[in-house]
Amino acid sequence: MHASRLFSTFALLAACCLAPARAADDAHAADRAAIQQVVQQFQDAIKAHDGKKLGSLFLQDHDSWISVLDDRTWKAAKARFPDAEKYRRSSWKRFAAMIQDDKGGPVEERFYNVRIETNGTVGSVYFDFDFLDDGKVTNRGAESWQMVHAEDGWKISSMLFSIDR
């Protein structure tokens, strides 16, 4: 009888602790799906060389885009160019223009291990990636997006990615 009561108490305690976590997950399932849709639109826009669509996925008045060289790549860059920097600020606007203007072969960014977190107002996306130009991997690394639920849907507010060549 004592073990039965102990088990019942444990089961009730576990249910009380796990129920709010499940409810919170369910409450933001639609937001995670909407963010996943932005991820897919990003990949599709790159493949289609559609810089305008790509640009529409970002907050228009923000432009935080930072690339960071991994240690091996940075060491190689420093050997060739002593003034090489470990990280560099760039622009989603430049990237969108480059994608739009690229008349070469196919380009693609493949994402792996995508993880999305959100509370319905802000969110983050983290994944591993390979960037391919004409079928060849020209960069790989990890990428992180900060997302904002704007008036017109989820938008990328900033991006940080590693360059692990």
Show Cβ contacts of residue 77 under 8 Å, excluding neighbours closer than 6 positions: 69, 84
Residues 107-134 have pLDDT tens digits of: 999 999 999 999 999 999 999 999 999 9
State the pLDDT at residue 3. 52
Instruction: Quote the tokens at residue 164.
Output: 């692990």
Burial code of 48-87, b = ≥16 C-beta within 10 A, e = fewer? ebbbebbbebbbeeebbbebbbeeebbeebeeeeeeeeee
Is the predicted pLDDT of residue 5 greater than 80, yes or no? no
State the pLDDT at residue 144. 98
Is the predicted pLDDT of residue 62 greater than 90, yes or no? no
Query: CA-CA distance, 14 to 12, in Å (whole number)?
Result: 5
CATH level 3 topology of 29-163: Nuclear Transport Factor 2; Chain: A, (3.10.450)
Mean of the per-residue pLDDT values of the chain: 87
Contact between residue 7 and residue 15 where contact means Cβ atoms under 8 Å apart: no
State the pLDDT at residue 165. 78
State the pLDDT at residue 10. 46
Residues 134-146 have pLDDT tens digits of: 999 999 999 999 9
